[in-house]
A and B are shown apart, each in its own frame.
Chain A
Amino acid sequence: MWRVARAILLSVVLVSTAACGAGAGGEPGGLRIGAIPDQDPQQLQRMYGVVSDYLHDRLGVQVEYVPVRDYAAAVAQFERGDLDLVFFGGLTGVQARKRVPGAAPVAQRDVDAQFRSVFVANPAAGVEPFTEVGDLARLKGHSFTFGSDTSTSGRLMPQYFLDRAGVSLDDFTGEPGYSGSHDATLKLVESGAYQVGVLSASVWEKRVQEGKVDPTTVREVFRTPTYHDYHWLARPDLDQRLGQGFTDLARDALLSCDGSDDREKQVLDLFAAGGFVAAAAEDYAQIEAVAGQLGLLR
């Protein structure tokens, strides 16, 4: 028994030391990009594979896409310095800037200035479609679910518009749900578990297009006004790590992606955008205010 135990200990120690030796290479010299897990990870892998190649060619550095499985984890890893350039959602981007002073919005998609959320309802709930924000008050007394609790389109902005219509979370039947994803919200409303739910307009439109939405079980009742959502955020130490002016180079690389060759077309297709435009911190002032109000910023 003791001989076996000794052999185990020895081999564990040996392998661990070997692993340490291999891992002690120090900081990688490349650019690590990331994204919040707002869609199918295989799709994300495709998107960011193409973007990595594009940025590698334009910037002349190694570019690695690091997949992240959780919204808050994306912020935490950006803060820790494990991610240099991240395509954040509106709320996560504001949270990341708050936690990493000096982090700068680099660019956003042309479509990011016109984001919307869609409130959907189970027909049995008897909610008729409406167009005014104030009419969100009609949702009082129904059961309601958000998506992921740090989603801009699935939680933050919907709660802001509800608030503007004078609806507080206590006005719903029971406690509001946090389904965890846009698709789960859709399914829970379809099943009737919650009478009303809210999700990103772009996901909703995609599911309608794909024919995955059965109009007898779920329908759109309200579309919010537009707001700013996603944006690329760079760490403040990017220049220090990868060379003076690197952040500007990265910005230029993104902004000049206008679909003028096949790969740029591919990038824009995958991002469902016509191009990237400059982003400024002010664009997200509204989100910041709402997030602060809801206690989502520390």
Chain B
Amino acid sequence: MTLTAKALDERVGCLPPSAVPNEPPRRAGGGTNRRRWWLLACVAAVVASALPVVLDDHPVIRVDGLRQLVEFFAAAVAPRVDGGFLALVGASAMTTLAYAVLGTAVSLVIGVVGGVLTSQVWWRADAPARRTRDVVGWSLARVALVVPRGIHEVIWGLGLLIVLGRSPVVAVLAIGIPFGAVTAKVFSELLDEADRAPHDALLAAGARRSSAVLYGLVPSALGDLLSYAFYRLECAIRSATILGLVGTGGLGTELLDSFRALVYHEMWTLLYALILLSALADGWSSLVRTRLSGSRSRRRGSVDGRDPVVAGSVLLAAALVVASVWWVRLDPSVLWSDRSARQASMLAGQVWPLVMVDGGLAELLRLAGVTLAMSVLAMAIAFAVAAVLAVPAAALPQLDRVTASRARRLPVLLAARLTMIVLRAVPPPVWALLALFAFYPGILPGAVALGIYTAGVLGRLMTEVVDNLEGRPLRALSALGASRRQLVWYGVLPAAAPRFAAYSLYRWEVTVRETVVVGVVGAGGLGVLLHHQLNSFHFAQAATIVLTIVLLTLGVDFVSAAVRRSIR
């Protein structure tokens, strides 16, 4: 498999592409059968998760709460736009952007170092004459990256806030560490799949292992890493916003202030700023990534540094890093201050040994079940909404000749893309409160909130899937006179469905972690208990819950990888 083919899968972005759903489909009868079983299992999981909602003795939707929903959305036409507030919003937007840029930069450093250290080629763990020491080293390095990845940015933020106090370093690391762990995984896979010839030649010529990897492998994987970094920038903006909800500053913090007092017209100004920021980041990253994959398919190998868009973007990104350091007054000295060391040892002392939650293992499992059910329902909603939005949002560049109809479709395309940006720009806790207006408290409002937020993220990935579909069958259908609807039903959906499913399964893992940020919905689950324990400084129990979420995430990842293998 080539790097270019791989590039699409990295776009999964906010989650590690642990398996590559890009191999030619297997036609064996056993595969189809297994696929049916998995489909059945998925349906069963969704039904089981929805059961408590349906069995409740009240109707699903609350009509009298719709007034509050109308009130919220009515404020969209009258955001607060006085000069003073706009200045505040502008400054907060810069802060959010600065955190996102710096967090991404840190994640790249962690990603490159961690990626090399977790690659098979570094440990020579796949070499025929591998040594046990190397296999153990490789496995340990992999495991070391699982934990930072399994912990939500908000939890990182809360922990770092205790250790480092009020410092911009908190937000930067809370984004940089988990993102870095994911980037490391992606980068290690890129390294392992890169062309080994230069590396082997250097080794044969007597170069040391580090030089061989650094000069023989890293350059050829850098282009894909760059592409991935630009993709992650938009994710980082969303993470910086959600982190703001724990008080690190920026748009999220301002949003929290207006959200607590429920000043809707202020919330809308902030949401517009977020939507604008996301849209800009999205546009920039698509531009760079299109150029990168274009230049790579023309000339195999490393990035074409002479492409003016790519070179300019890299320079702009560098300038942004420098400007961000200045803007947030990043002072890393807090990392090695005595006070931080004291707090870190205090926290470590109170986290370990772990303490089982009140109610014991049975209660922990019950809560994990609630969290799991919420995530399953959320993914079902996200899948449906995203699939419905992705088809009109796709530009279908494969059909080059039908330009006239594309111009006609442009408003629909833009509307669908804008909808997806809005869905993912509004932080899940805000969706949660809105969902509470429309539904009865329980897992349903939580699932709806996470589901429509995730739909925004998934929709973007699904749109790219549709735009990257093999063009020949579509052109053939079109040449046979198929209408657009027939094209979608018989050309696009059958080809895209397995990848839609694969991306949704990927994203499931992230959604499990994200259940911790929709505590307001009164659904219980691990997230609510985690907040209680953190707020009562019971770090040993909080750590038990975090560990449970990490294990749950791993389990989900395992199941989803199995399903993905079978639907390939």
Docked-complex contact B331 and A80, CB < 8 angstroms: no
Nearest B-chain residue to A14, judged by Cβ:
B322
Chain B interface size range = 35 or more
Instruction: Please give, as numbers and ranges, the residues of chain B lying within 8 Å of A77 by CB-CB distance.
Output: 165-166
CB distance from A191 to the nearest CB of B (A): 4
Does A258 count as interface, using CB distance less than 8 angstroms?
Answer: no
Query: How many residues from A make CB contacts under 8 Å with B?
Result: 61
Does B536 count as interface, using CB distance less than 8 angstroms?
Answer: yes
State which residues 60-117 of A face B: CB under 8 Å. Answer: 66, 68-73, 75-77, 79-82, 95, 99
Docked-complex contact A193 and B65, CB < 8 angstroms: yes
Given A183-B261, A183-B262, A81:B528 Cβ within 8 A = no
Instruction: Please give, as numbers and ranges, the residues of chain A lying within 8 Å of B305 by CB-CB distance.
Output: 1, 3-4
CB distance from A16 to the nearest CB of B (A): 6
Docked-complex contact B537 and A191, CB < 8 angstroms: no
Docked-complex contact B332 and A191, CB < 8 angstroms: no
CB distance from B558 to the nearest CB of A (A): 29
Docked-complex contact B311 and A4, CB < 8 angstroms: yes
Docked-complex contact A179 and B536, CB < 8 angstroms: no
State which residues 135-194 of A face B: CB under 8 Å. Answer: 143, 145, 149-150, 174-181, 183-184, 187-188, 190-194
Instruction: Please give, as numbers and ranges, the residues of chain A lying within 8 Å of B539 by CB-CB distance.
Output: 298
State which residues 309-336 of B face A: CB under 8 Å. Answer: 311, 314-315, 317-318, 321-322, 325-326, 329-334
Which of A68, A73, A75, A181 contacts B260 (CB under 8 A)?
Answer: A181
Contact with A along B419-431 (1 / 0, CB 8 A): 0000000000000
Docked-complex contact B247 and A69, CB < 8 angstroms: yes
Docked-complex contact B261 and A40, CB < 8 angstroms: yes
Given A70-B247, A82-B166, A24:B536 Cβ within 8 A = no
Instruction: Please give, as numbers and ranges, the residues of chain B lying within 8 Å of A8 by CB-CB distance.
Output: 314, 317-318, 321
Contact with A along B490-511 (1 / 0, CB 8 A): 0000000000000000000000
Interface majority SS on B: helix, strand, loop or mixed?
helix
Does B466 count as interface, using CB distance less than 8 angstroms?
Answer: no
Q: Which of B33-41, B185-193, B436-444 contacts A (4 or more CB under 8 A)?
A: B436-444
Does A250 count as interface, using CB distance less than 8 angstroms?
Answer: no
Nearest A-chain residue to B346, judged by Cβ:
A79
Docked-complex contact B534 and A72, CB < 8 angstroms: yes
Docked-complex contact A99 and B166, CB < 8 angstroms: no
Docked-complex contact A80 and B339, CB < 8 angstroms: yes
Docked-complex contact A69 and B246, CB < 8 angstroms: yes
Nearest A-chain residue to B325, judged by Cβ:
A15
Give complex CA distance A95, B247 in Å: 20
CB distance from B115 to the nearest CB of A (A): 15
14 intermolecular pairs with C-beta atoms under 8 Å apart = A8-B317, A12-B105, A19-B329, A20-B333, A69-B246, A73-B161, A76-B161, A77-B165, A175-B524, A177-B520, A179-B520, A181-B260, A188-B433, A194-B441
Rank and list the top 7 A-B pairs by shortest CB-CB distance, nearest first.
Answer: A69-B247, A23-B331, A177-B522, A1-B305, A181-B260, A8-B318, A296-B536
**With A70-B246, A79-B343, A194-B441 given, can you name 9 additional A-B contacts, CB distance below 8 Å?**
A8-B321, A68-B247, A71-B535, A73-B166, A80-B339, A81-B339, A124-B64, A145-B441, A178-B519
